[in-house]
Chain A
Amino acid sequence: MEIEQQAVRRETILPVTRDRAWDALRDADGLSGWLADEVEVEIAAGAEGVVRWRNGEERLVTVEEVEDRRRVVFRWQERSAEPSLVELTLDDVEGGTQLVVIEVPLPALRAIASDLDAAASRPGPQMLSSAPRMLATVA
């Protein structure tokens, strides 16, 4: 029995400048077609909306944090499922722009946040990035 990671993390290098990559994150038009088939939410902290897929799947979205040309953090939740937090981060790398995606179920994140809180008393948006590192393995 093994849990390699307790959060999903993906990274990819997009062969475009960070400005071009940000165009795909900065608003509903940019996100539509890849994040979900339809995106109806303003990419601004606190904004609420919905994303839909052609198969009828729908998730409620709340934008948590936006850092221009750098990061979008949102919470989403399918009906009757647990909410999870998603962080999309852009970085300049050789050959283009690196996009890092992290998705963590929200209750797990709260537990990590309280651990971090106790340890460092400095919780913040960066806690999501450290989640996969903090969550080691059961092997």
Chain B
Amino acid sequence: MKDALETTQPAVGAVFAALSDPTRRHIVRMLSQRETITASALAADLPISRQAVSKHLGALVDAGLASASREGRETRYRLTPQPLAEAMRWIAETGERWDERLSRLSQRLTQDG
């Protein structure tokens, strides 16, 4: 079996994994509401330390959901929503395939009566 690390398709699973954490989902929401933001500004609005926020931001960057850029002494984070679109496409396509499969199964069981 091929290793997941060798895959060429977008890492949909990494996006889901990153968003499985409620704090990270909250940070994604906050990122979506502005152009860029710093870890300190996010920490001011969250009940967790700046260090914890930085760790979550790192996870989002790893999953391709955010990008970091240095401005003077600060790092500013920006939402990069493309992987979200890819994850949603996976959900739509996978769901559609199951709808087809379940309809084939129902049809067969009904015909066999």
Which of A20, A79, A134 interacts with B2 by CB under 8 Å?
A79
Who on chain B is nearest to A83 by CB?
Answer: B4
| Interchain CA distance A1-B19 in the complex, whole Å | 13
Q: Is the CB of A15 within 8 A of B16?
A: no
- Does A93 count as interface, using CB distance less than 8 angstroms? no
Which of A21, A101, A107 interacts with B16 by CB under 8 Å?
A107
For chains A and B in complex, what number of residue pairs have CB atoms within 8 angstroms? Answer: 118
| Interchain CA distance A48-B2 in the complex, whole Å | 13
B94 to chain A, nearest CB (A): 5
Count residues of B near A (Cβ-Cβ below 8 Å): 41
| Residues from 7 to 62 in A contacting B, C-beta threshold 8 Å | 7-8, 10, 12, 14-16, 20-21, 24, 33-35, 48, 60, 62
| Segment from B37-45, B50-58, B69-77, B85-93 that makes contact with A | B85-93
B113 to chain A, nearest CB (A): 9
Which of A84, A112, A138 interacts with B29 by CB under 8 Å?
A138
| Interchain CA distance A48-B61 in the complex, whole Å | 35
Q: Contact flags (1/0) for B87-105 with A, using CB distance below 8 Å?
A: 1101100110011011011
Who on chain A is nearest to B63 by CB?
Answer: A107
* Inter-chain contacts of B6 with A (CB < 8 A): 80
* Inter-chain contacts of B95 with A (CB < 8 A): 8, 10
| Interchain CA distance A123-B106 in the complex, whole Å | 33
Who on chain B is nearest to A13 by CB?
Answer: B106
- Would you list 9 pairs from A and B whose C-beta atoms are within 8 A, ordered by A residue? A8-B95, A15-B110, A81-B7, A84-B94, A107-B4, A107-B13, A108-B16, A112-B17, A112-B20
- A80-B2, A82-B7 known; 13 other A-B pairs, CB under 8 Å? A1-B32, A1-B81, A1-B84, A10-B102, A33-B108, A35-B101, A81-B9, A82-B11, A83-B4, A103-B94, A106-B4, A107-B14, A138-B28
Please give the residue numbers on chain A whose beta carbons come within 8 Å of chain B beta carbons, in ascending order. Answer: 1, 3-8, 10, 12, 14-16, 20-21, 24, 33-35, 48, 60, 62, 77, 79-84, 99, 101, 103-108, 110-112, 115, 134-139
Please give the residue numbers on chain B whose beta carbons come within 8 Å of chain A beta carbons, in ascending order. Answer: 1-2, 4, 6-9, 11-22, 25, 28-29, 32, 81, 84, 87-88, 90-91, 94-95, 98-99, 101-102, 104-106, 108-110
